[in-house]
Structure 1
Amino acid sequence: MRAAVLAERRSLSEPARLAAAAAVTKTLAELIRVSAPRRVCGYVPVGSEPGGAGLAEAITGALSEGAELLLPVLRADNDLDWARYAGTLVPAGRGLREPPGERLGRSAAAGADLIVAPALAVDRRGMRLGRGGGSYDRVLARVPAGVPIVALLHDGELVDRVPEAAHDQRVTEVITPSGGLTRL
């Protein structure tokens, strides 16, 4: 399933990717404006991941004054540390980009009011299919119950069922370009 989703994403034209990114970031920004989280943990899309290159700016543009966006910093053990986003990203290992600031520790996500998680697909039960490294499953396991966890997807990636393992974590909502926000 991972290979099929990644192939489908790679086949999207640049205009289709840009349109999808605009649609999901608009819906996410509306969600943030309404829910007014004080701390959001997000991600920096790579390649054809939903949200596109402007995801961090879309999130920070929707945050109320004094609220913060934390972005992941990949650790050597594939777990995630976090750093505040202040408008700058620097190249990191594995083709990733990350904020250059102070590292806040793995537990920083536990204090978030909203988590924006990457996913390849999500099923209607909220099970999330990631890239297979387990980084976000570790993060989501630390997040207290009741914190909204939203996955950004392309159309067709909200499916009936994804494969799951005992360590996999659920999301509570998805945003797709055509379907907008769906609570699971």
Structure 2
Amino acid sequence: MDTPHPGVSTVTKDALRDQLRAARKRRPLEAAALLAASVADVATEWSEVRRAATVAAYVSVGSEPGTGLLLDALVAAGKRVLLPVVLPGLDLDWAVYTGRDSLAPAVRGLFEPTGERLGREAIGQADVVLVPGLGVSSTGERLGQGGGCYDRALPRVTPGTPVAVVLYDDEVGVAVPTEPHDLPVGFALTAGGVVPLVIPG
């Protein structure tokens, strides 16, 4: 059963985002570092990732669960890793990650790959897609940062491809308000493991 995150008193997306962001900022830096290592371990041991040739992922920023170690672990495991490049209209292009020296500062405090742009449809090449978020319900409704980038990108994922949102453990099972354009995700990936989510219908 989904429960509001502690302190959430309204069902609006903006209010829920504010509460979840505040909770993230209160987490100690030491915990974030340990979690980044655990996320990398969990992801690389996940059977879907182990079988994958291409993984679409992202570069974490700020108080997000860290993905730096994960990206390097994926490359070390021989995976082709696609990272997003934010376009002016907040859609996503994609480029291959080859290591930390292939990243450069970008808009909104993000870091993006500097290699050849592969086009918006390149996410359809991924065998697994890892996405950011602030929370997810037990039925896969994901709460993003509000820019709508992944609302635009996820419809291009090949049907049947596993999509997992990377979160802290207590951000799974949150009551997330939904809108018609929201696409559910199939899994939550946390330091504690990969949680399958029940997608209605």
Q: Please indicate the TM-score interval, normalised by the length of the shorter structure.
A: over 0.9
**Is 1:182 aligned to 2:195, yes or no?**
yes
**Is 1:9 aligned to 2:24, yes or no?**
yes
Q: Which has the larger radius of gyration?
A: 2
What are the within-5 Å matches in structure 2 for residues 161-180 of structure 1? 161-178=175-192, 180=193
Compared with structure 1, are the counterparts of its residues 130 and 41 closer, same or farther at alpha carbon in structure 2 (3 Å cutoff)?
A: same
SS in 2 for 1:171: coil
Partners of 2:67 and 2:84 in 1: CA distance: 16
SS in 1 for 2:164: strand
Identity between Structure 1 and Structure 2 (%): 43
**Is 1:134 aligned to 2:148, yes or no?**
yes
Partners of 1:33 and 1:143 in 2: CA distance: 15
Corresponding residue to 1:113 among 108, 127, 152: 127
By how many angstroms is 1:52 displaced? 4.0
| Alpha-carbon RMSD | 1.5
Structure 1 counterpart of 2:72: 57
Contact 1:45 1:55 in 2 (8 A): no
Q: Give the residue type in structure 2 aligned to 1:182.
A: V
Contact 2:90 2:148 in 1 (8 A): yes
Contact 1:114 1:149 in 2 (8 A): yes
Gaps of 5+ in 1: none
Partners of 1:170 and 1:35 in 2: CA distance: 23
By how many angstroms is 1:59 displaced? 2.3
What are the within-5 Å matches in structure 2 for residues 62-101 of structure 1? 62=77, 64=78, 67-87=79-99, 88-101=102-115
Contact 1:72 1:80 in 2 (8 A): yes
Give structure 1 regions of 4+ aligned residues with deviation exceeding 6 angstroms: none
Partners of 2:148 and 2:41 in 1: CA distance: 28
Partners of 2:175 and 2:122 in 1: CA distance: 31
By how many angstroms is 1:55 displaced? 3.0
Compared with structure 1, are the counterparts of its residues 78 and 173 closer, same or farther at alpha carbon in structure 2 (3 Å cutoff)?
A: same
Corresponding residue to 1:18 among 10, 30, 33: 33
Structure 2 counterpart of 1:47: 62
Gaps of 5+ in 2: 1-15
TM-score with structure 1 setting the length: 0.92
What are the within-5 Å matches in structure 2 for residues 135-150 of structure 1? 135-150=149-164
Contact 2:82 2:94 in 1 (8 A): yes
By how many angstroms is 1:74 displaced? 0.4
Q: Give the residue type in structure 2 aligned to 1:37.
A: A
- Per-residue CA deviations over 1:15-36 (Å, capped at 9, x if unaligned) read 1111121111110011167642
Partners of 1:93 and 1:138 in 2: CA distance: 18
- Per-residue CA deviations over 1:122-175 (Å, capped at 9, x if unaligned) read 100011100011101211111122100011101210024201111111111111
- Per-residue CA deviations over 1:54-77 (Å, capped at 9, x if unaligned) read 232122223x3xx41000000000
SS in 1 for 2:82: strand
Partners of 1:32 and 1:86 in 2: CA distance: 23
TM-score with structure 2 setting the length: 0.85
SS in 1 for 2:71: helix
